[in-house]
Structure 1
Amino acid sequence: MTETPPKPTFLSVDHISWTVPDLEAALAFYRDVIGAEELFRLGPLDAAEMPLDDEGRDWMATHVNVPGARLTLVMMKLTDNMNFQLVQYDKPGDIRQELPRNCDRGGHHLGLKVDDVDKAIAYLEAHGCTAMEVIHIDAGPLAGKKNVYMTDPFGHSLEIVD
């Protein structure tokens, strides 16, 4: 019987990463509209220009599980306690563009806490976001709170909470 290795200490979230179709447009939105600060940029990194591993696989297959990839990424400081990475893949040629729905496997959203949900809706809609109907919570542990799901200009799901 194999002994289970010791559990590490999970310290914090380092970053959240989203793949976007247009890195510069997404960077402009999250920097100029949301207020994220660009920390660094890497790339383009192209598997065709990187050495193969001992098993003959390219770097991207070995490290990000996408053979033949070419990517560029930007790491941003979104809030004091969270970094947000945007990645644009230019290869391989069969990149899917559809996003999962919230109910689909891999579905996701970014929850952002704000001081005023209604003010955030007006501001974000003026910058290309689309809001669903506001959720007013009347009972339970979140009574008195409200939130709203929105999509950013690239179709990613945001939840704005107070």
Structure 2
Amino acid sequence: MSAAPPKPRFLSVDHISWTVPDLDAAVAFYRDVIGAEELFRMGPMDAADIPLDDQGRDWMETHVGVPGARLTLVMMKLTDNMNFQLVQYDKPVDRRQDLPRNCDRGGHHLGLKVDDVEAAIAYLTAHGCTASEIIHIDAGPLAGKKNVYVLDPFGHQLEIVD
């Protein structure tokens, strides 16, 4: 049995990627409301326009695991240390539109730190988000902190924390 290769140095998070139903609307929300900066845009890239690989698979199947896909992506700078990629798939036609719940495999949320949870909730709800009740933490390692879960206008969950 051969030895495992050496562990690489994992330096930082490069980006988080979310698939959205309307790329232009999502870019506008995260740019205009959250303050992200658009870094670059790619696409549309269509598997039908890219040669097959040596195994007869299209580029999208080989690289993103979705045969026959057509996608456009925008990379945004969300904060000084976080890039945020938004992707819209136009193909395949059988792509799912529902989001996983937090308890489902692939469940997720994006936590954003703010200086004032209440002000952030007022601002975000005025811009199409839906907020749950603020959680006031009074014990444990996070005592004195507040957080709240919010749905962005596309149904993705954000957690706003102080």
TM bin (shorter chain):
over 0.9
Equivalents in 1 of 2:3, 2:46: separation in Å?
39
Equivalent residues in 2 for 1:44-63 (5 A)? 44-63=44-63
Q: Alpha-carbon deviation of 1:140?
A: 1.0
What do residues 79-100 of structure 1 show as CA deviations (whole Å, max 9, x unaligned)? 0000000000000010100000
Q: Alpha-carbon deviation of 1:128?
A: 0.5
TM-score by length of 1: 0.99
Equivalents in 1 of 2:104, 2:117: separation in Å?
26
How many residues get paired? 162
Equivalents in 1 of 2:149, 2:86: separation in Å?
20
TM-score by length of 2: 0.99
Equivalents in 2 of 1:56, 1:97: separation in Å?
28
Give the match for residue 94 of structure 2.
94
Q: RMSD between aligned alpha carbons? A: 0.4
Give the match for residue 136 of structure 2.
136
Give the match for residue 21 of structure 1.
21
Equivalents in 2 of 1:89, 1:80: separation in Å?
27
Give the match for residue 121 of structure 1.
121
Flag structure 1 segments of 5+ consecutive residues without an equivalent. Answer: none
Equivalents in 2 of 1:32, 1:85: separation in Å?
16
Give the match for residue 159 of structure 1.
159
Flag structure 2 segments of 5+ consecutive residues without an equivalent. Answer: none
**Identity of matched residues, %:** 85
Give the match for residue 106 of structure 2.
106
Q: Structure 1: which amino acid aligns with 2:64?
A: V
